[in-house]
């Protein structure tokens, strides 16, 4: 399983590097409406967090609504959450036999549940050339 963990950690490092490179800009669908509330048009733009919305090199007026489809800060939080699952697996001791009582993080079921989650997370990268089919859940 060390190969699976190394594979997932490498993908998370790549994702974090990409999100960090993207800077604070968000990618969103912006909706513009007329005075009666009817939709005029939507567009995809980058901006937000005190930066103007920009599309095709032109600054846009504030939209009636925005649906964020990519937010680098959210991506970095997601990467950290996935890394936490890997760390929980690594910290959980391998226990043989049946423990008398469940103590969170200290029985084989917990460790296996973490590995199941790691396998699930790795399937996101199933089209990567280094992904192994044997890792599939």
Measured from the Cβ of residue 89, the count of other Cβ atoms closer than 10 Å reads 19
- The mean pLDDT value for 103-118 works out to 79
Q: Please give the angle made by the CA atoms of 45, 49 and 52, to the nearest 5 degrees.
A: 45
Measured from the Cβ of residue 3, the count of other Cβ atoms closer than 10 Å reads 11
**Residue keyed to tokens 């396998």:** 119
Closest CA to 70 of 25, 102, 37, 115: 25
- The mean pLDDT value for 34-38 works out to 87
More confident residue, 51 or 130: 130
Model pLDDT for residues 53-89, shown as the tens digit of each residue? 888 888 888 888 888 888 888 899 999 999 999 998 8
């Amino acid at each position: 399983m060390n190969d699976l963990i190394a594979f997932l950690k490498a993908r998370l490092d790549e994702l974090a590097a990409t999100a960090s490179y993207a800077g604070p800009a968000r990618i969103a669908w912006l909706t513009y409406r007329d005075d009666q509330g009817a939709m005029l048009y939507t567009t995809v733009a980058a901006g937000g967090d005190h930066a103007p919305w920009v599309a095709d090199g032109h600054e846009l007026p504030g939209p009636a609504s925005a649906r964020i489809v990519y937010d680098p800060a959210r991506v970095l939080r997601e990467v950290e959450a996935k890394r936490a699952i890997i760390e929980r697996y690594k910290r959980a001791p391998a226990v043989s036999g049946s423990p008398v009582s469940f103590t969170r993080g200290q029985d084989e079921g917990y460790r296996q549940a973490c590995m199941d989650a790691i396998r699930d997370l790795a399937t996101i990268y199933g089209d990567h050339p280094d992904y192994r089919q044997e890792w599939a859940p």
